Amino acid sequence: MKRPSTASWERYIALLLGTVGLLWSTASFAVDPRNWGPPGQPIRQGHHIEWQRAAIRSDNGYTLVVWSDTRTGDRDVYAQLIEPDGDFAPGWPVQVVHYPYRQEDPEPIPVDGGFIVTWIDFRFDSTGDVFAQKLDYAGNLLWNPVGAIVDTFVSTDQNSMVNETTLRGAHDGSGGAVIAWESNLRGDVADIYAMRINSNGQRAWNEVLGVTESVGVQTGITADTDGQGGLIVGWNDNRDGGNVYAAKITNAGTLPWGGVGGRVVCDFTARQLGLKLCPDFTTGGAFFAWQDERNGSSNDLYIQRFNGAGAAQWAEDGIPLCTAADDQRGVRVTPSFNGGVQDGWLTCWQDVRVNGSVEEVFAQKLNLSGVPQWTENGVRICGDAAGGGLGATRDNSRLTSDLQGGGLYVWDDTRLDPGNILQYDTYMAHLNASGSHVCNECGVAIRTAENQQQEALLRMSGDGSDVFVIYADFYRGSRTLSVAQASIANCAIERTQEAIFGLDGDATNPTNIHMFWGNVAFVWEDNRGVNFGKQVYYQVLDTTYAPTFAHIPANGAPIAPVSAGGSRFDQSRPYVCTDGNNGFYCSFENLTEGVKQIRIQQVGWNGQLQCDLAGTVVSAAAVDQQDAQVAPDGQGGVYVVWSGFDPSFQLDVYAMRMGPNCEALWTEPVLLSSSTEFDDALQGIVADGNGCVVAVWQTGDFGNYNLRGAKVCGDGSVAWSGDVSASPREQTEASIVADGQGGVYVAWSDSRNQLDEKDVYGQHFNAAGEPQWTNNGSLIVNHDQDQKIPRMAVDSQGNVFVMWQDFRNGNNLDLYGQKLSSAGTRLWTPLSGKPFCTRPGDQADQQLLVEWSDGLYMAWEDGRANPFMDLYGVHISPQTQVSDAHWGTLSETEGTGGVINNEYQNQTQPALAHDYHGGTVAVWVDWRSSGKEPLQNIWGNWINDYTVSVRELPAPLPREYMLTQNYPNPFNPTTEFQFTVPATEAVKIRVFNTLGQEVQTLIDEVMHAGTYEVRFDASALSSGVYFYRMETPSFQTVKTMQLVK
């Protein structure tokens, strides 16, 4: 199992405390280049609340609600205390445990002086152990802050799958608890085990108690107190077919009901399942109810009572609770109290007796002798089932005693949208001791709203006059835990409080882009709305991890907050580019009324949306459009290029130019491709730097794909169009970048040499669209097995980096690369490619970024921690040396890379943006919150190893330009200097050798008025005299420095 990285915590904590300015001292340049700490920082992090209907009322009227959520990244346990009058206790909710990995499925147990909370914990292995914590009413943790071990099984076998799940517990009578759980420790499906933990958090027994050790399955544990310091457990058992069993666990660790394996509750020939129990406080025994097929294949309900000695009080194999037609299922039981005395038991269940399919809620009360007190086969709490399968579904009922001989009932209800379980509402009913409705027949609404209101349970207030209805509310899309307080006299809701709300749903497909000095925008797909659909969100942060704009909330804001079609959103596949004015454009696909259209939004320099709040439609054609990309037009507008279906249902490639605020600058899109036989699928676009855009697309048929390209300019004219490669077999997976001279480089996967193997080819087109290399492409690499999916980046000299995924070892994908001149000359050795990562497992989805000094950052998904994917990366100098030891080794035979993020679970889909401090800001999809299901959020990190570093100094606004002499001088290998600009304008600072050749760009950016400090690391340069030159549109100066090694 992967463990969170623990390096450089000092820097991480300092960042969290906001002391970033101190970290930019000279001493800080030697530390971990992950400036937001090794774990990274959340850009969008959901709570992903898991609540197992866990809430318990103590004898003095306090109610504790417990759940787990992932607000900090991995999953932890939290609790909210409700005071007897319904107020949320001050200082709550509290974090019960905060420890790496997963802590989940908490179970609360009321004890003397507070509560014990037990949970399943994954800190030691991937299959779970049992931990616990004790809290007082003030929320103080009374045991070890990381929890007390109840039971743990740590195997040296990497393939061990010993699971411990489904906790239940009861007060041991002395401030501790007896806790039981299911485990497959013996190797079969499951048994039941138990342990007592004392009031001081120490285990009371020398060994875990095996409650069952029978062959087969003992699962579906149900448990409650015996009222005497012990725990009664029941379960479904298939040792002799489908039966139900029970055992009593004393606080001394004995099993008086039949010893290990327990005793039969019912083993009638037919199947029994779904056992539930509750206490019999009059004898120290228990009351049981279960589903039973003895009368045929449909389920009836039967019941049994054991006294404290485990003796059955009614007929062997139980007596009927309900034998109405068709199924009765989901039975629940609780003691009935009247005047503080137990007078029997209350039950409720779902029932399809009317039409065999639509569930209704029924209930029954039994006295201590098991005699039904209400209508035979139960009283209908709520239902309108009718013939033909008509009627609204009522499901998931729960109950509690009203403390006056009657019962309160709550359930999920679809009466406002019959049968639609995505629109459950929560309803409640009250029956008095005679079984009559106190409030409306069929209940009263506790909560009706958009999406689900469900999973409710009931707990009584301290004085018994009110009931707390605790339920999950999805009116925002993501889960809220709410508590409604209602009078039992008339079921009127007195107030509703929210215990916790947090985002749910996955966030994927992140991208990022530099906006202005040290501020980066992040954009991603977000399904936080769940039933409301998927939207595109954005956030802007500076390199200190501080939000740039106050109006953008934590976890981001929607980039198109208005739905183009009703209340449901369907936005996907964002793609961004600069607007040339410190803002950015974003294109996305929007599905409305069955048609997928491309829309765009502009986010201005102030972080505000500039276009239609639903996004502006690029082309109103009533056919699907897809694969959109955007590129700046150099005049504050944007080119949008996409593939769209024509009337013959073939994909063609279109382009449209939009101006600031998303107004259309052409009357209609320009058609770039129009194959009548084949789909033309857009592969990539890039601005040429001269006001035009170049697109490349895949055309042809399976087994014979080729690549074509075209350039379209500001007036809508197509400057050139033609083949990129029309070689035999397939040319696919193309990448395109500008060459800085109005032309483009294109690289792709190519199988021209062998049908089942791919090589990497490339082409250089000049501004006129003329190929500069071999017609149909020049070979970049040809080796054994596949070389595929190239990605590119260009330095300031027009050289191009090409990195690809390589299967030459025959086992896994590695990353190799080559650097080519504008003439196509391979500049690195070996000519077959330099190995950038040759570690075990696959390396994929490589992302490239050239920084100011013409060095290269690359990030990728890395499978060396099989089966998980991590993020690794490298930063190389222009001389192809790793810039810092953090990035591992790089030679002609191997490369390792350095870790960007290797937290728990997967990190995938990396993207990089300039920080304009000589580094990069990385963003990725982060899976560290995953547990029972995969969960995806967006995390990031500022990566800068300070080869070049720039920071703004706190100083009055300058009135003049200044460039200071570097210090120290001479230097080896680092030096610093300052400069000032009195107004916002473009600033360029470059380093030249004595021949006048530029050796490094330190700054090339629009900068606000201020005083700045630059730290320059010349490790990659040889000894000698150098000149550093500052240029703005209205100022130029140069100074000399000397490097002595």
Q: pLDDT digits over 243-259, tens only?
A: 999 999 999 999 999 99
Whether residue 15 has pLDDT greater than 60? no
Mean pLDDT of all residues in 209-215: 90
Are residues 100 and 186 both part of a single domain? no
d(CA 425, CA 417): 10
Mean pLDDT of all residues in 879-890: 93
Are residues 186 and 302 both part of a single domain? yes
Task: Pull the structure tokens for residue 101.
Answer: 């990995």
Of 1010, 1013, 1011, 44, nearest to 509 by C-alpha is: 44
Residue-level length of the chain: 1045
Strand ranges for 967-1007 from DSSP E: 974-981, 985-992, 998-1007
Confidence of residue 160 (pLDDT cuts 50, 70, 90): low
Confidence of residue 157 (pLDDT cuts 50, 70, 90): low
Say if residues 82 and 468 touch (Cβ distance below 8 Å).
Answer: yes
According to DSSP, residue 660 is labeled G
423 domain residue, yes or no:
yes
According to DSSP, residue 957 is labeled P
Q: Count other Cβ atoms within 10 Å, centred on residue 893.
A: 10
804 domain residue, yes or no:
no
Query: In this predicted structure, what is the pLDDT of residue 14?
Result: 32
Each residue's pLDDT tens digit, 342-369: 999 999 999 999 999 999 999 999 999 9
Confidence of residue 932 (pLDDT cuts 50, 70, 90): very high
Each residue's pLDDT tens digit, 414-431: 999 998 999 999 999 999
Torsion sign (Cα): 578, 584, 590, 592? negative
Mean pLDDT of all residues in 494-513: 98
Task: Pull the structure tokens for residue 474.
Answer: 């999805």
User: For the chain, what is the mean pLDDT?
Assistant: 93
Query: 3-state DSSP: the chain helix, strand, coil percent, rounded to 5?
Result: 5, 50, 45
Whether residue 1004 has pLDDT greater than 90? no
Each residue's pLDDT tens digit, 445-491: 999 999 999 999 999 999 999 999 999 999 999 999 999 999 999 99
Are residues 130 and 198 both part of a single domain? no
Q: How many domains does the chain have?
A: 4
Are residues 274 and 373 both part of a single domain? no
Confidence of residue 30 (pLDDT cuts 50, 70, 90): very low
Task: Pull the structure tokens for residue 561.
Answer: 């907050």
Are residues 145 and 66 both part of a single domain? yes
Of 829, 832, 836, nearest to 814 by C-alpha is: 836
Rounded to whole angstroms, the maximal C-alpha distance in the chain is 105
Whether residue 2 has pLDDT greater than 90? no
Mean pLDDT of all residues in 929-946: 95
Confidence of residue 239 (pLDDT cuts 50, 70, 90): confident
Task: Pull the structure tokens for residue 1038.
Answer: 């140069």
Domain boundary among 322, 342, 369: 322
Mean pLDDT of all residues in 300-308: 98
User: What CATH code is carried by the domain that includes residue 269?
Assistant: 2.115.10.20
Comparing 373-377, 405-409, 469-473, 982-986, the range with the smallest average pLDDT is 982-986
Mean pLDDT of all residues in 31-58: 96
**C-alpha angle with apex 1015: 1014 to 1018, nearest 5 degrees?**
130
Query: In this predicted structure, what is the pLDDT of residue 10?
Result: 33
Say if residues 713 and 691 touch (Cβ distance below 8 Å).
Answer: yes
Are residues 134 and 215 both part of a single domain? no
d(CA 194, CA 247): 11
Of 268, 271, 265, nearest to 287 by C-alpha is: 265
d(CA 498, CA 80): 10
Of 171, 67, 167, 180, nearest to 114 by C-alpha is: 171
Task: Pull the structure tokens for residue 235.
Answer: 């379960």
Three-class SS state of 23: helix
Say if residues 695 and 655 touch (Cβ distance below 8 Å).
Answer: yes
Each residue's pLDDT tens digit, 533-571: 999 999 999 998 999 999 999 999 999 999 988 889 999
1036 domain residue, yes or no:
yes
Are residues 252 and 129 both part of a single domain? no
Task: Pull the structure tokens for residue 996.
Answer: 């006048």
725 domain residue, yes or no:
no
d(CA 804, CA 789): 6
Task: Pull the structure tokens for residue 89.
Answer: 């206790």
Residues 6+ apart with CB under 8 A from 382: 360, 361, 394, 411, 413, 427, 429, 441, 442, 443
Q: Which residues partner with 679 through β-bridges?
A: none
- CA distances (Å), origin 85, targets 177, 234, 498: 27, 34, 16
Confidence of residue 216 (pLDDT cuts 50, 70, 90): confident
Are residues 199 and 146 both part of a single domain? no
Sheet holding 148-151, edge to edge: 103-111, 114-121, 129-136, 148-151
User: What CATH code is carried by the domain that includes residue 1038?
Assistant: 2.60.40.1930
Of 572, 605, 600, nearest to 659 by C-alpha is: 600
According to DSSP, residue 141 is labeled B
261 domain residue, yes or no:
yes
Comparing 1-15, 62-76, 920-934, 986-1000, the range with the smallest average pLDDT is 1-15
Three-class SS state of 389: helix
Say if residues 656 and 637 touch (Cβ distance below 8 Å).
Answer: no
Task: Pull the structure tokens for residue 1033.
Answer: 């549109």
Tokens 């035009």 found at: 692
Are residues 139 and 202 both part of a single domain? no
Task: Pull the structure tokens for residue 203.
Answer: 């285990």
Q: Count other Cβ atoms within 10 Å, centred on residue 615.
A: 27
Q: How many helices and strands in the chain, by DSSP H and E? A: 2, 72
328-331: long-range pairs with CB below 8 Å, 24+: 328/291, 328/299, 328/300, 328/301, 328/352, 328/353, 328/362, 329/274, 329/291, 329/299, 330/274, 330/395, 330/396, 330/397, 331/274, 331/276, 331/289, 331/290, 331/291, 331/301
Are residues 275 and 363 both part of a single domain? no
Say if residues 877 and 883 touch (Cβ distance below 8 Å).
Answer: yes
Give the up-direction half-sphere exposure of residue 706: CA atoms within 13 A in the CB hemisphere: 14
Domain boundary among 322, 349, 370: 322
Residues 6+ apart with CB under 8 A from 153: 125, 129, 162, 164, 183, 185
Tokens 């346990």 found at: 77
Residues 6+ apart with CB under 8 A from 721: 672, 708, 709, 710, 711, 769
Of 153, 141, 240, 242, nearest to 193 by C-alpha is: 153
Comparing 182-196, 600-614, 827-841, the range with the smallest average pLDDT is 182-196
Mean pLDDT of all residues in 267-289: 96
**C-alpha angle with apex 919: 982 to 574, nearest 5 degrees?**
100
Mean pLDDT of all residues in 677-687: 96
Domain boundary among 286, 303, 322: 322
Query: In this predicted structure, what is the pLDDT of residue 50?
Result: 97
19 domain residue, yes or no:
no
Q: Which residues partner with 657 through β-bridges?
A: 639
Each residue's pLDDT tens digit, 617-638: 999 998 999 999 999 999 999 9
Tokens 């959103």 found at: 569
| N- to C-terminal Cα separation, the chain | 45
619 domain residue, yes or no:
no
d(CA 578, CA 638): 9
Q: Which domain holds residue 89?
A: 47-104+115-150
Are residues 317 and 336 both part of a single domain? no
Say if residues 448 and 425 touch (Cβ distance below 8 Å).
Answer: yes
Are residues 1008 and 971 both part of a single domain? yes
524 domain residue, yes or no:
no
